[in-house]
Amino acid sequence: KKICVMGLGYIGLPTSAMFATHGCKVIGVDVNEKVVDALNRGEITIEEPYLDIMVQAAVRSGNLIADTKPHEADAFIIAVPTPITEEKKADMSYVIAATETIVPYLRKGNIVILESTSPTGTVEKLIVPILEKSGFKIGEELYVGHSPERVLPGKILWELVNNNRIVGGINRISAEKIRDLYKIFVNGEIFLTTATTAEMCKLMENTFRDVNIALANELAKICENIGINAWEVIELANKHPRVNIHQPGPGVGGHCLAVDPWFIIEKNPDIAKIIELSRKTNDSMPKHVLNRIDEILKDIKRTKKISILGITYKPNIDDMRESPIIELIDLMDERDDYEVSVYDPYVKNHKYQAKDLIDVAKNSDLILLAVHHDDFKNLPLSDMAKVMRNKYFFDTRNFINREEVEEKGFKYILLGE
């Protein structure tokens, strides 16, 4: 099989490498020449465990090549970004451009698959009309559908193979053809449905998680109001066999949970009320964290220095997309009574990045544990305390042992308490 993958990002690149190491001939296409040149040298431009080894093997075998233009193939996979605009609408320009680009390369019997997370109706109302320009009969001479990616950054290669997969076809035969293609490397079950149902499944999976995190964040605020510990409430309530309250935190980031629910709201603004409120609740968390810092440090009248540990959107990865900590730093930048210093072992070039954990704590008033990277499990608390002005430790993740911090002379504050 010959497969042309449009977009060599977080999904397109691992998917290309996976097909290539399973015996397919893969052409990875990207508009960015740097990405294409790097891949042809066997190098990768995103961070993901083991991906470098797999890509190297794929390129060396001759099964994976990159180009800025598509080639003729048996199947085309569209895996380009679907970002969100300022107005919280899906920006479909990359999907449209990629689909238009493949039209001249299509042949009778080809398969076209949209993998990018998209609003409902994208395949039927946006992609099909573009593909019709090829002159082929859709569903009979061109097989079209949506198979959303569902892999977790940090575990992409494992999840690509082992997760269950949904395939939504424009008709039954399209779904079956697409299923047979993914069977080349997928060990999980593959479920067939319509394209629009598959689009909604993907959006709803991430919305489910976002709404549940919003519930946890609201609980955190309620417990702060009452004066009890939300983390204890969650732990005990989750002993119930049908309850699974998620974890509160300084906000929800990443390119998925903070974006996808808006694709549902955009198409159903009068109905998607819980979904919209949840999004806003999660978006309110950086401001809530800042309000609590204001309260903790209210007696200090000079410029206060805050040392932020972690700025990625979640632990143990280098991804800062939509990170709520970046939002928090922006909020602090707007104020002239805060000075910020950050340390994140996964990030090298942030404007406030300190050299190490001691450097970040220098002359600081408060340590903010923002991301629970494993690297922060054993902080050099005594040495950090020595260089600080005030010793407040604000844990937004219930990650650090309270007694240990207090033993070192810190005042420990917990989000959700």
Interface ranges with ligand SAJ (CB under 6 A): 117, 149-153, 205-206, 209, 213, 246-247, 249, 252-254, 256-257, 313-314
The nearer residue to ligand SAJ, 67 or 91, going by C-beta atoms, is 91
At closest approach, how far in Å is the CB of 139 from ligand SAJ?
Answer: 27
Q: Point out the catalytic residue in the list 24, 177, 202, 223.
A: 202
24 is catalytic: no
At closest approach, how far in Å is the CB of 161 from ligand SAJ?
Answer: 14
Beta-ladder partners of 412: 393
The nearer residue to ligand SAJ, 289 or 388, going by C-beta atoms, is 289
Query: What three-state secondary structure class fits 138?
Result: strand
267 is catalytic: no
Q: Point out the catalytic residue in the list 4, 24, 223, 256.
A: 256
With contact defined as beta carbons under 8 Å apart, do 417 and 228 qualify?
yes
Residue 84: DSSP 8-state:
B
The nearer residue to ligand SAJ, 149 or 365, going by C-beta atoms, is 149
At closest approach, how far in Å is the CB of 395 from ligand SAJ?
Answer: 14
At closest approach, how far in Å is the CB of 349 from ligand SAJ?
Answer: 21
In 10 A of CB 371, how many CB atoms?
Answer: 30
Query: What three-state secondary structure class fits 188?
Result: coil
CA distance 364 to 372: 20
At closest approach, how far in Å is the CB of 29 from ligand SAJ?
Answer: 20
Q: Which two tokens stand for residue 200?
A: 């909604």
At closest approach, how far in Å is the CB of 391 from ligand SAJ?
Answer: 26
The nearer residue to ligand SAJ, 320 or 358, going by C-beta atoms, is 320
The nearer residue to ligand SAJ, 44 or 285, going by C-beta atoms, is 285
Q: Which two tokens stand for residue 376?
A: 């922060």
Residue 98: DSSP 8-state:
H
The nearer residue to ligand SAJ, 117 or 120, going by C-beta atoms, is 117
Angle at 94 between CA 164 and CA 149, to 5 degrees: 5
With contact defined as beta carbons under 8 Å apart, do 290 and 328 qualify?
yes
CA distance 415 to 289: 8
Of 301, 116, 296, 281, nearest in space to 195 by CA: 116
Supply the DSSP string of 236-297, one letter for each residue: HHTTSTT-------S---SSSTTTHHHHHHHH-TTT-HHHHHHHHHHHTHHHHHHHHHHHHT
Active site residues: 202, 256
